[in-house]
Amino acid sequence: MVQTRSMHVLGTRPAAGAAQARRPGCGGRPQAESGSRCPAASAASVAWVPLGTAHAAVAPSRFARIYRRHFGIEDFHSHFRWQAVREWVDTDSELTLEVGCNIGVISIEVARLIRGTLVASEFDETLLSVARDAVDANHVDNIELSQADLRELGELPRFRQALLIDVLEHIDDDELALRQLAAALVPGGTVIVSVPTPRYPVVFGRAFHEQIGHVRDGYWLPELARKLDAAGFTVAQHRYYTGPRASWACSRFYRGHIPTRALLPALPLMRSFAMRGEHLATADNGASLALIAVKRTQPDRTVVDDAAAVPAEAGTAEQSEPGGPGDEA
């Protein structure tokens, strides 16, 4: 089973394959809803917080080390992933699972938030080695790293929460993966998921999309909710992200219009500008989808089944590249 996601960093090619502690959900424990969208965060809460400063210790060059110390990881989209999911992390969880941790950028942030242990797995040994070096260099003692995949988590449910951040789109049998994940969680446990939507190839480019090992274009909420439901989960909250401003910026960063090094001085300002526009992200313009789902304790079924949740242009998503930063289409 492939458990990888991309991390575009200085000195590498994209791989194939301490914020304030907050309770999960929009202000508390997530309650099962019928596909409700999580309200947009306030402007103060979306202020840019550097992600990945811990990875300065394992930077591939002196330039990258200096950049990360001041501005965080240079991979542009990673900051938006973390911004989209961090408020859902249950800081009281005694045992948390992260599947597909890549080089551990989000892993270290999660470990610093929670009071328990984070078990982070990555199938790619090269990526896992970087994660190990970063954890050791930062003396993070509540992370256990392993190369295990979902089939090797054990037969007994033991995790209180799990993170599946940009992983499902790399897995051929995503429904099996979700069932395996459900088996690892205790009843009432939560899973935080981030995936691309079918707008992803439009924003990031079809070439980049295929290079990093995506086996599908992405998910709209109804499709993903049905697959989660079949695995025993109920979607509690969701949000689309990578909205108009972020899509415009990501298209410049990942499509290679401008060399990465030439863009670096402008990235912090671009991130700040784009994050303040994330409240504009909807099913019609978001290139990413994040949600939190709860493993059911009873066999009841609640499925998002709203045709309106699938944007009208879903079948023609690749007709044009994202427009300028003011686009809201």
CATH number at residue 57: 3.40.50.150
**297: which DSSP letter?**
S
**Segment holding 237, helix H or strand E:** strand 233-241
Which residue type sits at 265? P
pLDDT in tens, 260-272: 666 777 888 888 8
Determine, yes or no, domain membership for 42.
Answer: no
Determine, yes or no, domain membership for 248.
Answer: yes
Determine, yes or no, domain membership for 35.
Answer: no
Confidence at residue 230, expressed as pLDDT on a 0 to 100 scale:
97
Determine, yes or no, domain membership for 286.
Answer: yes
Q: Using alpha carbons only, give the angle 108, 96, 180 rounded to the nearest 5 degrees.
A: 120
Confidence at residue 223, expressed as pLDDT on a 0 to 100 scale:
97
Determine, yes or no, domain membership for 12.
Answer: no
Number of domains in the chain: 1
Determine, yes or no, domain membership for 13.
Answer: no
Determine, yes or no, domain membership for 22.
Answer: no
Determine, yes or no, domain membership for 247.
Answer: yes
Q: Give the strands of the sheet with 117-121, arranged side by side.
A: 143-146, 117-121, 95-99, 159-165, 185-196, 288-295, 233-241
pLDDT in tens, 286-324: 999 999 999 998 655 555 555 445 665 454 444 445 555
**For residue 71, what are the domain limits?**
53-311
pLDDT in tens, 165-202: 999 999 999 999 999 999 999 999 999 999 999 999 99
